[in-house]
Amino acid sequence: MVPGSLPRTLRDNALVDYLVRVPRQSLATLGRAVDLFVEVLGFLIADAIRLRLPMLETLQQTWFLLTVTAFPAVLIALPFGTEISVQVGSIVNQVGANSLAGAASGIAVIQQGAPMAAGLLMGGAAASAIAADLGSRAIREEIDAMRVMGVNPIQRLVVPRFLAIVLISPILCVVIITSAVLAGYVLAVNVNDVVPGSFWQSFGAFATVEDLWFAIIKSIVFGMLIVVIASLRGLEAKGGPRGVADAVNASVVLGFVAIFATNLLTTQVQSMFFPGQVG
């Protein structure tokens, strides 16, 4: 045995403990996230029926989240649209089908690029802001103080942020689609010598209204996942500033994983029940 190393039996036991503990903790976290989502929906429906939705707080959170995500959305969309136009343009020019550049923009941007970019943007900027805000409140014991005063922190704090994410998700998705498609159009027309009419004709033939609705729905689903994960991590933060930083990091990482997994599932469902058609 190498001096300073653990005996093999202890290493094996540590490995077994890790393989058992991590899935158990993951399932427990998933269960708490589902409970939080159900509780948020319950408060949301009850407040909507009683006309007591926290509109002022929702609008404030919507504006705040837009300020931290709208401009980065444009910055993401412009190079994304130009990159697609460059890559597709170099291929279609070789086969003499440069009129299909618009179709590539419609398929790549609307079906996959825009909702994924919106989800990752919310998973980075919005999730960090939500987790940091709620985590700071948790370590200052504001959450416990609200419970002592009979105020439910989920109803007061999480529901407005949930509504705000639902509101900004389609906005970000449409902004990214518009910016990316226009950037790809400008590059295709001025660099790849694509005729403007053929660009929009192929774009309209392959991109449908159903694709746009699916993209918006996917972005909303991604947003709901993000706000639930970030809120859960923020409310459970402990241990001072280090705990807030850990909550922010965990919310971003888990949010990205959830977005990629959900995108894979929704894409399969869409391709199975709503296959693409040339209109």
Among 123, 118, 143, 148, which residue's Cα sits nearest to residue 133? 143
Residue 168's identity, in one-letter code, is: I
Sign for the pseudo-dihedral over CA of 263, 264, 267, 269: negative
Residue 114: name the closest of 265, 219, 220 by CA. Answer: 219
Q: What is the mean pLDDT of each run of 10 residues along the chain (279 residues)?
A: 54 67 78 91 92 90 91 87 76 68 76 89 91 93 91 92 94 92 85 79 82 92 95 90 91 92 88 69
Q: How big is the chain by its Cα radius of gyration, in Å?
A: 23
- Residue 193's CB is within 10 A of a number of other CB atoms, namely 10
Chain centroid to CA 234: 17
Residues in the chain: 279
Please, how many CA atoms are within 13 Å of residue 101, restricted to the half-sphere of its CB?
A: 37
pLDDT digits (tens, 9 = 90+) for 16-52: 776 777 777 778 888 888 999 999 999 999 999 998 8
Sign of CA dihedral 114, 119, 124, 126: positive
